[in-house]
Amino acid sequence: MLLPKKGNIPTPLDVQRKRLPIYQAKPQLLNQLRQLPSAILIGETGSGKTTQIPQYLYEAGIGRQGVIAITQPRRVAAISLAGRVAEETRTSLGKLVGYTVRFEDVTSSETKLKFMTDGMLLREAIGDPLMLRYTVVVLDEAHERTMHTDVLFGVVKTAQRRRRELNKVPLKVIVMSATMDVDLFSDYFNKSPVLYLEGRQHPIQIYYTKQPQSDYLQAALITIFQIHQEAPPSHDILVFMTGQEEIEALARTCRDISKHLPDGCGPMLVIALYASLPPAQQLRVFQPAPKGCRKVILSTNIAETSVTISGIKYVIDTGMVKSKRFNPDSGLEILAVQRVSKAQAWQRAGRAGREDSGLCYRLYTEDEFDKLIPMTVPEIQRCNLSGVILHLMALGIPDVLNFDFMSKPLPGAIHAAVVQLELLGALEKKEQQVTLTALGKKMASFPLEPRYAKAILLSPDFSCSEEVLGIVSLLSVDTVLYNPPTRRDEVLAARRKFTSSEGDHMTLLNIYRAFKKVSGNKEWCRENFVNSRNMGLVKAVQAQLREICLKLNMKLESCGSDTVSVRRCLAHGMFVNAAELQPDGSYVALDSHQSVAVHPSSVLFQAKPAYVVFNELLHTSRCYMRDLCLVDAEWLVDAAPEYFSRKLRHAKS
Ligand code: CDP
Ligand code: MG
């Protein structure tokens, strides 16, 4: 008998691959995908779209002349999926299968299957609008409608058409979605066919509360322990919540309570899951709990579609999500906790029925459910568009204001973005024609929000490029600070050494400088509650930003201890997000005249300086400014004289 060749022995992974719902459909799928220039593919989360389609295409020789790109809205997803597919293909990551996310590129000339964030593919298109290195672009998780995916729709469609006109290698576009509402996608791609994957969804029993809940966290806590007391321990629970802080707080409460349960109640393993968690900790959700122990996962909407966790029998849906909202009148973007859409609620419930029938507890009434909006509003209709507009102009799109968006942004939003870019000096408007200025072109070379790019570009004028590059890098990675809630006092004591009365940016810079001084010593990081991995990333990001600066022939200097120059420079980039102290001790955002408050996490919480610039607005019980920097009114006026002459209280009087 012929023994199978070494390497061809089926591994448990091979067996798993063949059990996926998509495997049955492989021949028909390939048949269709081979012929169609564009296709839409729908399949339940976990059916195997993301991990299998790229492999199927490659094995069948489709798109082999070039690279197959698979976009993901989240960088964690891009990284972990690339890892999984490399494993399945028995290759090492960065060879056949690789990934590219902002500030990290794990690909080589051999890479044929390239997982990347949607933002990265968009950036690449600046240098290569026809996307010639790709033969297939898979726009994955399209139902999420992130801003970058939405813009990519237009860019990819244009590239596909242009390549046809120029007789170049055709570009195949595959749009993948976990939800059924794909008419819009199909219409946009010239009525391309929709391929449905047979689902493997088991029935799910839905429960609503009888009364509206005023405190969804309390309701979640009660529900978790009710289930825990009644259900067999092998039934895991997934709770959808809004963000890191409340997840960590509830996790702590659950752990405390579970230590004091009556006999007969088994142990509980509580795991937090959110995007900014270090990858090693994120992987914990995939590991089974010890026998006899129940796994309780507290997650943001990241577990709705991007990651699949096995063993979930119960879903608890708070009905809330943290997402961005945009006020086109002011151009201000606010991060706020709000109700989910019906589509999201169904997606969450679906997580309970992956392997067997499941149960979903909605912590709201059926009436409240009926009032939810049907679909999540695409990000492009609720975000500040200044970055997108700058990007499209850099792509050389001729008429940006009339770009072929799949869903049109709000009429005021494009205008607000143009105004903001004009204020920043990136655009010029001449008789209804907007053009990119020399500064604007340079701004677009940075993978950053326009205001941060502007601060960097101005930094040589203030001789503080090293500092500004450091600060912008710190703001570009997930938080470098580690705040275990159980050790609050120790954290505060450790932080005090670095706290600057000039605000959060300068405090972060102090921590970064100290980190570099000890060469990233692990012990130092632990003692000072600094996330050493993210800090390491900051250094890498700074190195990359520095490279871009050098290409632009910028003179990079350090201003040493002259913190005034740094703050001046930040004021020149971030002046659109400025706020002024009022006589009654409150703050008003100068752009929108909206009342705002200093977030309790800021080092300026008690200081009440007259003027600040801030990174973002967070709306919870009220509207909070997060990450603040103390500035002088004169600097703001200096940065945008005309604009601020109308805005400042003291300038008016
Ligand atoms: O894209 P889709 O949601 O349809 O599924 P997928 O991401 O291709 O995942 C298919 C299956 O692969 C999942 O059900 C998981 O069991 C497994 N998988 C995994 O174990 N680890 C990963 N990092 C990704 C997928
Ligand atoms: Mg997927």
pLDDT tens digit string along 294-319?
Answer: 999 999 998 888 777 888 999 999 99
CA 139 from centre of chain: 16
Structural domains in the chain, CATH included, are 13-197 (3.40.50.300), 204-377 (3.40.50.300), 380-444 (1.10.10), 450-647 (no CATH)
Categorize the per-residue pLDDT at 8 as very low, low, confident or very high, splitting at 50, 70 and 90: low
Q: Please name which of 32, 31, 68 lies closest in space to residue 50, comparing C-alpha atoms.
A: 68
Ligand in nearest proximity to the CA of 54: 1
Q: What is the mean pLDDT of residues 165-186?
A: 91
Q: Model confidence over 390-446: pLDDT tens digits?
A: 999 998 887 888 899 999 998 888 888 999 999 999 999 888 788 999 999 999 999
Q: What is the mean pLDDT of residues 458-480?
A: 94
- State the pTM of this model: 0.85
Q: Which atom of ligand 1 is nearest to the CA of 140?
A: 1
Is 49 near ligand 1, meaning CB less than 6 Å away? yes
Q: Which residues pair with 628 in a beta bridge?
A: 614
Q: Model confidence over 511-545: pLDDT tens digits?
A: 999 999 999 899 999 999 998 888 988 998 999 99
- Please tell me the predicted confidence (pLDDT) of residue 462: 97
Q: Please name which of 266, 262, 250 lies closest in space to residue 300, comparing C-alpha atoms.
A: 250
- Please tell me the predicted confidence (pLDDT) of residue 1: 41
- Please tell me the predicted confidence (pLDDT) of residue 277: 76
For residues 653 and 277, which has the higher predicted lDDT (pLDDT)? 277
Ligand in nearest proximity to the CA of 51: 1
Categorize the per-residue pLDDT at 227 as very low, low, confident or very high, splitting at 50, 70 and 90: very high
Q: Model confidence over 636-647: pLDDT tens digits?
A: 999 999 888 877
CA-proximal residue: ligand 1, atom 13 (nearest): 46
Whole-number mean pLDDT of the chain?
A: 91
Write the CB contacts of 220 (distance below 8 Å, at least 6 apart in sequence): 239, 241, 250, 316, 318, 363
- Please tell me the predicted confidence (pLDDT) of residue 276: 74
CA of 72 to the centre of ligand 2 (A): 8
**Could you give the count of Cα atoms lying within 13 Å of 543 in the half-sphere of its Cβ?**
8
Is 179 near ligand 1, meaning CB less than 6 Å away? no
Q: What is the mean pLDDT of residues 604-626?
A: 92
Share of the chain above pLDDT 70, in %: 96
Taking residue 639's Cβ as centre, other Cβ atoms within 10 Å add up to 26
* 8 A C-beta contact, residue 168 and residue 128: no
Categorize the per-residue pLDDT at 279 as very low, low, confident or very high, splitting at 50, 70 and 90: low
Q: Which helix H or strand E contains 178, and what residues bound it?
A: none
Could you tell which of 51, 55, 305, 312 is best to mutate to test the pocket of ligand 1, judged by most ligand atoms within 8 Å of the CB? 51
Q: Which atom of ligand 1 is nearest to the CA of 354?
A: 14
Q: Which helix H or strand E contains 499, and what residues bound it?
A: none
CA of 205 to the centre of ligand 1 (A): 24
- Has residue 103 got a pLDDT over 80? yes
Is 380 near ligand 1, meaning CB less than 6 Å away? no
CA distances from 420 to 80, 251, 366, 387 (A): 36, 41, 42, 10
**Per the structure block, which two tokens stand in for 458?**
């101005």
Could you tell which of 29, 76, 84 is best to mutate to test the pocket of ligand 1, judged by most ligand atoms within 8 Å of the CB? 84
Is 282 near ligand 1, meaning CB less than 6 Å away? no
Is 384 near ligand 1, meaning CB less than 6 Å away? no
CA of 628 to the centre of ligand 2 (A): 37
**Mind giving me the DSSP string for 376-387?**
PPPGGGSS--HH
413 exposure class (CB count in 10 Å sphere: 0-12, 13-18, 19+) = buried
CA distances from 117 to 101, 102, 140, 600 (A): 6, 8, 10, 32
CA of 343 to the centre of ligand 1 (A): 21
562 exposure class (CB count in 10 Å sphere: 0-12, 13-18, 19+) = middle
Q: Which atom of ligand 1 is nearest to the CA of 45?
A: 3
Ligand in nearest proximity to the CA of 71: 2
Ligand in nearest proximity to the CA of 42: 1
Place of tokens 């507290």: 298
- Please tell me the predicted confidence (pLDDT) of residue 331: 62
- Has residue 3 got a pLDDT over 70? no
Alpha helices, DSSP H only, in 25-98? 26-35, 49-59, 75-88
Q: What is the mean pLDDT of residues 259-279?
A: 85
Q: Which atom of ligand 1 is nearest to the CA of 83?
A: 23
- Has residue 332 got a pLDDT over 80? no
Is 21 near ligand 1, meaning CB less than 6 Å away? no
Maximum CA extent, the chain: 96
CA distances from 320 to 75, 215, 336 (A): 23, 11, 10
**Per the structure block, which two tokens stand in for 590?**
């100068």
CA-proximal residue: ligand 1, atom 10 (nearest): 48
Is 350 near ligand 1, meaning CB less than 6 Å away? no
- Has residue 4 got a pLDDT over 80? no
